[in-house]
Structure 1
Amino acid sequence: MTSRSSFPVIIDTDPGIDDALALYLALSSYQLDIKLITLVFGNTKINHVTRNIITLFDVIDKEIEYLKSAPPPNQIDPQQWDKERKTLLNRFEWSKPIVAIGADKPVKAVECFGTYFHGSDGFGQIHTTHPHYAPENWENLKSDRYAMSSRNAVDEILYQLQNNPPFTITIIGLGPLTNLALAYEKDKYTFSRVKQIICLGGAINSCGNVTPCAEFNFFVDPDAANILAEATKGFSPSETIQISSNVFLSRAVFTKYITSLNTPLSIFISVFIDHAFKKMQELCGTNGLELHDPAAIALAIDMLSKNTQSYTSEFVDMKVEYQGIYTRGMAIVDTRPKGFSSTKSAQETLKIWDDVNNVEIIISYNSKSFIDNFFKITFNVDYSEENI
């Protein structure tokens, strides 16, 4: 079931703790008609990523079954429960995506994973500590909420672009951009039918979260990020959108509003997000978590809905370093005056910076209402900062 006002999208992802939150937000958002979810290595290896997406849908099925006969939670007026129950039962009915398994390694770079933060399984070792979320026969779990593709992610991306009207499908990249780069290189003509690419990646005017100058997704596969940035040459400046976010969710807020729901979905999320909270305390000394991937989904909805009041952006000439040692995955923006950048210099001989890329980057994002919307859309929970 899709809304007439929904926007067709492909989500490329590597779940992953924050990816799971992003996917739950996307799946419960009526504005998105999710045609395809493609899986890529990144936060963990591709076999764990595959198990995690199946687990994610299985928990949705458990949530729906629970709600059919559940008593009203403490937060909801019993007289309003029938209405609220209907809203909760319908929230995951907007999309029935295809799922396709994709790349298990970078285009060229030495592989690395985000298991230092997400755990070896990508979900904070939840499959060990809570094995009922992924039983031994997890590969046989079935759900009507998605269909597994017989094609790999690259071919399925191209198939969807070929078999939908041109310039209608937006791709949202939440992980390393390997699948997208491989699809582009395999069939540039078909890939050019994409409406736009919105990706979470790069560190501009800020330090990286893996090295001093590189964000995780660009660092993991710098060649893929560079391929897509270079693909914007010669196009009108609306091809690739790169974002970073600073939307912060405190542990106290999550515990009060979500953990207390005590439903299959809230329990499942609470287990793996607790791992993330502990890691953030250990690594950064903060009592909360930045929601990068869910913010990317929220921003994509705003951009597709032309809600330009929620963000500011600008087009820049951006390159990605894919050969450096200390600068692997660094996003570099040409901030020189136009006259200076066009003068004859060594770059003309060496062809270092000889063409202009057109990449839109987000300068600011109004995240004030993000948590409110995230809680309301995904959990049907009303939240206000004034209550904390």
Structure 2
Amino acid sequence: MAPNRIIIDTDPGVDDVLAMLLAFSAKPEELEVLMLSVQFGNIDVQSCLRNIVSLFQFIEKERAWRVQNGRPAGFETLEKTKPIVAVGAEEPLAEHMMVADFFHGIDGLGGIHHSHPHLTPAETWKSLFQPTPESMDAEQAASLQAVKDQHSLFTPSTKPAPEEMLRLLRENEPDTITIVAIGPLTNLAVAAATDPETFLRVKEVVVMGGAVDVPGNMTPGAEFNTYADSVAAARVFALTSPNPRTTMPPSIPGGKGQLPAYPETLSKQLKLKLFSLDITTPHLLPQSLVKSYTAPLESSPLVQWASLFLSSTYRKIHSIRPTLDASTLGLEMHDPLTIWYCLTSSDPKWEFKRSEDIRVETSGQWTRGTCIVDRRGKGMKVDSDVQHGLDDEVAGDAGGWLDERKGNRVDRCVGSPGTDVFAGVLLDRVFGGAK
């Protein structure tokens, strides 16, 4: 069976790093990671990029260590495909930028770049993401090549991430690439606005974001990713509608990134699978399990690195929820769950609530980023006995929630192969090769 080919759009972030480690630990026949599309989110975009470079650095160290100790190197999917790494959005389309460094630390990994600077890659990597000078002398060329050799597991791009995303979709057969979005949806919104029909060549978009029947983690109603760029989320969700303009966000005066409207007619609707807090929050990585699993592996470079940012994260969780017993602390694996789905999507235990009309609020005083769902059902009768246009306001149906021609069509995950087994799966896949 052909591997699931994916683009990961990310803002690393502790759980983003775990998600990428899970993806790269896949076998080549399971998963092929074509690209990491980087943007702001948990922290600023350059710090996000540094965390990705650090991730590859430690995968390289881990592979060498395993071979030296007579173990398979692991991370086999990287032997087949070197993912492109491209940098995208630095800020949301319209709103004031809000990051999550209060939880993830100033550098996205619990501050380890400051507390353990010897583990941070030399800043020469920055040259990989800058345009190559038209003329270089032999010494400069050799220096640049040396930097490339030091970072050989990925292919750096100097083009914007949305542009690279569209190129991959354009150059591959339709319905063969999945985009896994585990940060704000800004990069996706820009790509979709730039070339909607090319964007719709995607097989599906798997989104970690939103909160439907549970409280948000940024405000009482909003999850962080939909809050961080609610306009981008609303625009991407609108592509699931048979008539996207019926759920597009209103234009926000003074918005920094006003994007054009979609064409009146599109060839298809976007397939979007939503992994909201409702399903991700119960999937925990217990601190006690991490400690017991990694204790015998203390000489593993990857374990040493991951233990630092995980320990910092568990301390942060305990400071936020001091009444919790430290022995029962668990990290909510929001982002890794999307990768588990990509690895095991054929498992019948994955359950989805199909074609929900989920819309993202963009202009409410207290409800920015909140997912709104109509619980009345499309079958309700509205007070209208006449034909009306898409833009007509119908009595009893403000916003067109009951009109079958309007509204989004989102598939929301409501069940997984097991909240109690995922932590073990992740630890085995990511760190098991070190045993």
Q: What TM-score do you get using the length of structure 2 for normalisation? A: 0.79
2:129 is matched with which residue?
Answer: none
Are positions 1:356 and 2:407 aligned together?
Answer: yes
2:273 is matched with which residue?
Answer: 241
CA contact (8 A) 1:226 1:320 kept: yes
**Alpha-carbon distance, 1:101 to partner:** 0.3
**Percent of aligned pairs with the same amino acid:** 33
Q: 1:329 aligns with which of 357, 369, 379?
A: 369
Are positions 1:130 and 2:116 aligned together?
Answer: yes
2:63 is matched with which residue?
Answer: 64
Are positions 1:251 and 2:237 aligned together?
Answer: no
Instruction: Give per-residue Cα distances to partners, 1:317-367, cap 9 Å, x unaligned.
Output: 111001112100001111113232654499537962362211010122222
Structure 1: how far apart are the matches of 2:271 and 2:293? 38
CA contact (8 A) 1:257 1:381 kept: no
2:15 is paired with a residue of what secondary structure? helix
Are positions 1:278 and 2:315 aligned together?
Answer: yes
Instruction: Supply the AA of the counterpart residue of 2:20.
Output: L
Provide runs of 4+ in structure 1 moved above 6 Å. Answer: 235-238
1:127 is paired with a residue of what secondary structure? helix
Instruction: Write the mapping of 1:94-133 to structure 2, written as runs, cut at 5 A.
Output: 94-133=80-119
CA contact (8 A) 1:28 1:93 kept: no
Instruction: Give per-residue Cα distances to partners, 1:114-172, cap 9 Å, x unaligned.
Output: 10001111111110011122144252653221100121101001000000001110000
Instruction: Give per-residue Cα distances to partners, 1:85-127, cap 9 Å, x unaligned.
Output: 1263747535420000010100111111010001111111110
CA contact (8 A) 2:54 2:121 kept: no
Structure 2: how far apart are the matches of 1:368 and 1:45? 33
CA contact (8 A) 2:64 2:73 kept: no
CA contact (8 A) 1:376 1:382 kept: no
Instruction: Supply the AA of the counterpart residue of 1:300.
Output: C
**Alpha-carbon distance, 1:375 to partner:** 1.6
Instruction: Write the mapping of 1:38-49 to structure 2, written as runs, cut at 5 A.
Output: 38-49=37-48
**Alpha-carbon distance, 1:222 to partner:** 0.3
1:50 is matched with which residue?
Answer: 49
Instruction: Supply the AA of the counterpart residue of 1:134.
Output: T
CA contact (8 A) 1:91 1:377 kept: no
CA contact (8 A) 1:238 1:360 kept: no
Change (3 A) 1:54 1:322: same
Change (3 A) 1:301 1:90: closer
Instruction: Write the mapping of 1:101-180 to structure 2, written as runs, cut at 5 A.
Output: 101-139=87-125, 142-180=150-188
Which is worse superposed, 355-364 or 131-140? 131-140
Are positions 1:369 and 2:421 aligned together?
Answer: yes
Change (3 A) 1:352 1:217: same
Instruction: Give per-residue Cα distances to partners, 1:202-232, cap 9 Å, x unaligned.
Output: 0011000111100000000000110011111
Structure 1: how far apart are the matches of 2:304 and 2:194? 42
Structure 2 gaps of 5+ residues are: 127-146, 243-266, 386-391
Change (3 A) 1:237 1:51: same
Instruction: Write the mapping of 1:194-213 to structure 2, written as runs, cut at 5 A.
Output: 194-213=202-221
Change (3 A) 1:96 1:170: same
CA contact (8 A) 1:219 1:329 kept: yes
CA contact (8 A) 1:236 1:358 kept: no
Structure 1: how far apart are the matches of 2:98 and 2:161? 20
Change (3 A) 1:21 1:259: farther
Instruction: Supply the AA of the counterpart residue of 1:340.
Output: M
Change (3 A) 1:167 1:88: closer
Q: What TM-score do you get using the length of structure 1 for normalisation? A: 0.88
Change (3 A) 1:347 1:339: farther
2:340 is matched with which residue?
Answer: 298
Structure 1 gaps of 5+ residues are: 71-81, 384-388
1:380 is paired with a residue of what secondary structure? helix
1:12 is matched with which residue?
Answer: 9
1:322 is paired with a residue of what secondary structure? coil
Change (3 A) 1:272 1:248: same
1:340 is paired with a residue of what secondary structure? coil
Size of the alignment, in residue pairs? 365
Change (3 A) 1:330 1:67: same
Alignment RMSD: 2.3
